[in-house]
């Protein structure tokens, strides 16, 4: 079996410089968005069709002291992807790209020509990722930089965000090797007194394209502890494949999966829409 590429985020090294955020915009030619000061350095407040990644400024309180827990937020390229399951016309699919070194780059992507703008993928995603573009009538998200990495051109053979990260928070490479690297780092952190140090993304949803080294409980990083595909989404896909009856089933999907949406993020999303 071909080796699989992934990205490892060592959050202990992140300085929140947001060079990755800027590099993502630049490489993908996504324009800036107008936002207002919400009393937080975290900006923009949500992902969107024009913002495919952002750095989260999580405030962590322990023994009366606050510290930042910075996290990179973008599509996780889940092996078991709720967005793929929820998409009625199968516009959102898993894609695999063979790289220059024989390894495989996996990416979850949406075919704009097939997207019908139902937004079900947005409702289903446990990470609040897909962004809908009203003008283009399509869904956009991190591509894992397949358009850049597949070329294998020296200097451009890693994702733009990884290339821009000076402190070495982000590593791109073979998944199995990154897991070994993460295990070593977690062992070191634990021996340094970070008893909650752990890896996130190794096995969640069948394995994520992005893995994280965290030093506190997962939820303090604004990540779901046990992400899953809502059961209604799986039932919905079985019911509507082919998707002729999707309008009737859509109500069922919306009712079931609405319950799992993170209320905070939904509030922020609305706020963001108003600001655009
Ligand atoms: S470039 Fe690296 S250090 Fe800077 S915000 Fe991004 S992940 Fe953090
Ligand atoms: S993070 Fe969300 S949009 Fe990305 S693959 Fe997973 S379910 Fe789909
Ligand atoms: S992999 Fe590419 S598209 Fe995804 S966050 Fe990094 S720069 Fe953006």
pLDDT tens per residue, range 107-142: 999 999 999 999 999 999 999 999 999 888 899 999
The CA dihedral of 164, 169, 173, 177, to the nearest 10 degrees, is 170
CA distance 58 to 38: 14
Give distance in angstroms: CA of 27 to centre of ligand 3.
8
Token pair for 241? 């494949």
* Domains contained in the chain, CATH given: 5-275 (3.30.70.20)
Q: How confident is the model at residue 260 (pLDDT cuts 50, 70, 90)?
A: very low
Mean pLDDT of 57-69: 93
Ligand 1 lined by 84 (C-beta under 6 Å): no
Q: How confident is the model at residue 243 (pLDDT cuts 50, 70, 90)?
A: low
Q: How confident is the model at residue 235 (pLDDT cuts 50, 70, 90)?
A: confident
pLDDT tens per residue, range 70-109: 999 999 999 999 999 999 999 999 999 999 999 999 999 9
Confidence at residue 233, expressed as pLDDT on a 0 to 100 scale: 82
Helices 246-258 and 231-239: crossing angle in degrees, nearest 10, is 180
Give distance in angstroms: CA of 124 to centre of ligand 2.
9
Confidence at residue 241, expressed as pLDDT on a 0 to 100 scale: 62
Ligand 1 lined by 164 (C-beta under 6 Å): yes
The residue assigned the tokens 């799992």 is 260
Mean pLDDT of 201-222: 97
- Ramachandran area for residue 107 (φ above 0: left; ψ -120 to 50: alpha; else beta): beta
Work out which ligand 1 atom sits closest to the CA atom of 13.
Answer: 3
Give distance in angstroms: CA of 211 to centre of ligand 2.
14
Ligand 3 lined by 27 (C-beta under 6 Å): yes
Q: How confident is the model at residue 268 (pLDDT cuts 50, 70, 90)?
A: very low
Kindly tell me if the per-residue pLDDT of 245 is higher than 70. Answer: no
- Name the nearest CA neighbour of 141 among 85, 77, 208, 86: 77
- Name the nearest CA neighbour of 205 among 170, 229, 180: 229
Confidence at residue 242, expressed as pLDDT on a 0 to 100 scale: 55
Mean pLDDT of 185-212: 98
Kindly tell me if the per-residue pLDDT of 236 is higher than 80. Answer: no
Residue 17 burial (CB count, 10 A): 15
Distances (CA, A) of 66 to 61, 72, 196, 216: 4, 19, 17, 13
Q: How confident is the model at residue 275 (pLDDT cuts 50, 70, 90)?
A: very low
Ligand 2 lined by 149 (C-beta under 6 Å): no
- Name the nearest CA neighbour of 58 among 263, 201, 265: 265
Residue, of 262 and 24, whose pLDDT is higher: 24
Confidence at residue 201, expressed as pLDDT on a 0 to 100 scale: 98
């Amino acid at each position: 079996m071909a080796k699989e590429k992934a990205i490892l985020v060592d959050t202990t090294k992140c300085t929140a410089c947001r060079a990755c955020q800027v590099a993502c915009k630049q490489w993908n030619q996504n324009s800036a968005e107008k936002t207002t000061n919400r009393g937080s350095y975290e900006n923009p407040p949500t992902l969107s069709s024009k913002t495919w990644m952002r750095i989260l400024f999580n405030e962590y309180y322990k023994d009366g002291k606050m510290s930042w827990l910075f996290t990179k937020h973008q599509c996780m390229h889940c092996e078991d992807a709720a967005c793929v399951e929820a998409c009625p016309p199968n516009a959102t699919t898993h894609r695999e790209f063979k790289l220059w070194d024989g390894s495989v780059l996996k990416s979850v992507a949406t075919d704009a020509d097939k997207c019908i703008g139902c937004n079900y993928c947005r409702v289903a995603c446990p990470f609040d990722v897909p962004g809908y573009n009203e003008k283009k009538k399509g869904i956009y998200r991190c591509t894992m930089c397949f358009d850049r990495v597949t070329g294998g051109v020296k200097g451009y053979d890693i994702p733009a965000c990884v290339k821009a990260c000076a402190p070495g928070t982000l590593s791109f490479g073979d998944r199995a090797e990154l897991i070994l690297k993460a295990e070593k780092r977690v062992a070191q952190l634990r021996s340094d007194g970070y008893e909650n140090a752990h890896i996130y993304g190794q096995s969640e949803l069948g394995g994520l394209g992005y893995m994280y080294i965290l030093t506190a409980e997962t939820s303090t990083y604004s990540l779901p502890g046990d992400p899953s595909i809502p059961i209604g989404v799986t039932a919905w896909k079985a019911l509507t494949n082919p998707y002729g009856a999707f309008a009737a089933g859509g109500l069922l999907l919306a009712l079931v999966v609405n319950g799992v949406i993170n209320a905070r993020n939904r509030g922020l999303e609305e706020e963001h829409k108003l600001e655009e």
